Amino acid sequence: MDPQPVSTSSWAQFWDAYELFRDPMLCALVAGSVLGFLGVYVVLRRMVFVSAAVTQSAGLGVALAFYAEIHLGMHVDPTVGAVALALVATMLLMMDPARLRLTRESLLGLAYAFTGGAAILVGDRISQEAHDIQGILFGTAVLVERPQLLAVTWAGALILFIHLWWFRGLTFASFDRIGAHVQGLPVRMLDAVLMISIGLMVGVSARALGALPVFAFSILSALAALMLDLRLPWTFLLSTLAGAISGLGGYLFAYFYNFPVGGSQTVLATAIVALAFGVRGVKQFVTRARA
């Protein structure tokens, strides 16, 4: 039997239903941009698994919100649940693990495994919302409700405003802590601002788009930008653009070729890393040829 051809959508169909797709596209654009910006800190400070653990915690927060609504009669907005658990995880991961005779990596592994497993267990008791739990863990993001878009937009705007305002202090404290201490900067407070920013943005974005694409935006965009060995401000700008392209481009790819949205956004973010790798290879070849 011949395989069935995969039907694709046209631009005319897309524009006819643009009102339906507008909010999820804007949400992916904003979330990808802000997470791409924050991703430079995540990658350079070697906090890749912090992002993974926080996204899993956000998924658990959504599952607990549904559980409280269904079994306890308590109304908790899933976005509030996602942000609350993401911030709790962020605060715990800021603790010094040496006091517990643990390494940083083991604490991250513990948080990731526990929150991922707990989300599955809680999800098993709320079969009515099983599709939402799957969406949080793997990223569907076909439709985004207006309150979710507003939460992502306001959180992203606030975070970008603070980070651009304190850009020098945050980068100095992040990449030269001893020098920042010598200069009298409040390093611990700046660390707290950075971690809370990551927890807040991951929480609201994971509720709207799912954990998988949120993790990809916060890691892969920065990897692509850092491969090009640019000055730090250009690296932040390029990572922000890569996150925006991954979010918006992945949604369009999923629409036109009938693929899941979260997977499409993640694969596109990976393709941008591969493109950056190719550009880096060309730059090195040209440099050697001129030498």
- Report the percent of the chain where pLDDT is more than 90: 26
List Cα–Cα distances, 186 to 136, 168, 175, 200, in angstroms: 36, 13, 14, 21
User: Which of 6-10, 202-206, 230-234 has the weakest average pLDDT?
Assistant: 6-10
**Does 5 have pLDDT greater than 60?**
no
Please name the amino acid found at residue 99: R
**Does 283 have pLDDT greater than 80?**
yes
Please name the amino acid found at residue 268: L
CA pair distance 259, 265, nearest whole angstrom: 10
pLDDT at 84: 87
What stretch of H or E contains 226?
helix 211-226
List Cα–Cα distances, 80 to 17, 89, 151, 226, in angstroms: 30, 14, 10, 33
What is the sign, positive or negative, of the torsion defined by CA atoms of 229, 240, 254, 12?
A: negative
Residues 42-59 have pLDDT tens digits of 888 877 777 778 888 888
Closest CA to 255 of 8, 22, 4, 19: 8
Residues 189-218 have pLDDT tens digits of 888 899 889 888 988 888 788 888 888 898
Residues 110-150 have pLDDT tens digits of 888 888 888 878 877 776 666 666 666 555 556 777 888 89
Cβ(36)–Cβ(240) below 8 Å: yes
Domain limits, the chain: 25-209
pLDDT grade for 1, boundaries at 50, 70 and 90: very low
pLDDT at 70: 81
**Residue-averaged pLDDT of the chain:** 84
CA pair distance 261, 258, nearest whole angstrom: 9
Please name the amino acid found at residue 211: A
User: Which of 24-38, 172-186, 273-287 has the weakest average pLDDT?
Assistant: 172-186
The arrangement of secondary structure in 25-209, i.e. its CATH architecture, is Orthogonal Bundle (1.10)
Q: Provide the b/e sequence for 221-248 (b: ≥16 CB within 10 Å).
A: bbbbbbbeeeeeeebbbbbbbbbbbbbb
pLDDT at 39: 92
